[in-house]
Amino acid sequence: MWFQWSEQRDYIDTTWNCGYLLASSFGLLDLSPLAAGCILVLSRNFVQYACFGLFGIIALQTIAYSILWDLKFLMRNLALGGGLLLLLAESRSEGKSMFAGVPTMRESSPKQYMQLGGRVLLVLMFMTLLHFDASFFSILQNIVGTALMILVAIGFKTKLAALTLVVWLFAINVYFNAFWTIPVYKPMHDFLKYDFFQTMSVIGGLLLVVALGPGGVSMDEKKKEW
């Protein structure tokens, strides 16, 4: 956003016909909380407040950039929200118990359902990668990708499925969104760069699933009760 300040300001001005001053104000309103939220998350300070602020930025960008009417971009934004939900759930686990070493019966329900919602939203990213053509590679990719998405969503063999998706998504991201191979002056450079870093954010959310597991509302957890 910082390096493409003028382009984004002009886009907002053209789309909403709001004038130079309001478009610049929107840019500051968008960029400042975004930077502050990311710094707080990385420094592990006030993570829950930072997550709520970043949720607000995602919602604001969805409306301001007309993402609401573009299904592909909307699903990717929802996947980003899923990553934030998982981060919010992870932050709730820190300092959860008042008595060190004393076991608790179950994790708090809000955290469990945040992990479920985060998993379901994350898989929306992969739905945008499905290709509906008759080539063998596309059919194989769709079958394998859909199976892995279902496993993550229902929480079965979750860590293995999420790790496989991390590897697969990273490979696809590097291959299809190689913005560094496109000259800077071409519009495609910006589109690919946006997709690349957005996809990397979703990969971060999947790594949270690998690290923390699926949570209480999952088949993996239910198997322990059986």
Give all strands (DSSP E) within 43-102, no chain letters: none
pLDDT single digits (tens) 137-157: 888 888 888 898 899 999 999
Q: Model confidence at 158, in pLDDT bands (50, 70, 90)?
A: very high
> Measuring CA to CA, which residue among 152, 125, 43 is closest to residue 91?
43
10 Å Cβ neighbour count for 204? Answer: 14
Contact 89, 70 (CB under 8 A): no
CA–CA separation, 20 vs 70, rounded Å?
A: 26
CA–CA separation, 69 vs 71, rounded Å?
A: 6
CA–CA separation, 188 vs 38, rounded Å?
A: 26
Q: Is the pLDDT of residue 162 over 90?
A: yes
Contact 173, 199 (CB under 8 A): yes
The CA-based angle 50-8-80, given to 5 degrees, is 35
CA–CA separation, 43 vs 38, rounded Å?
A: 9
Q: Is the pLDDT of residue 49 over 60?
A: yes
Q: Which two tokens stand for residue 170?
A: 């990273």
Report which DSSP code applies to 181. Answer: G
| pLDDT of res. 226 | 61
pLDDT single digits (tens) 192-215: 998 899 889 889 989 999 998 888
pTM for this entry:
0.80
Give the phi and the psi of residue 97 in degrees, each rounded to 5. Answer: -95, 135
Q: What is the CA radius of gyration of the chain?
A: 19
Reduced to 3 states (helix: H, G, I; strand: E, B; else coil), residue 201 is helix
Q: Is the pLDDT of residue 57 over 80?
A: yes
Q: Which two tokens stand for residue 100?
A: 């060190």
CA–CA separation, 174 vs 177, rounded Å?
A: 6
10 Å Cβ neighbour count for 14? Answer: 10
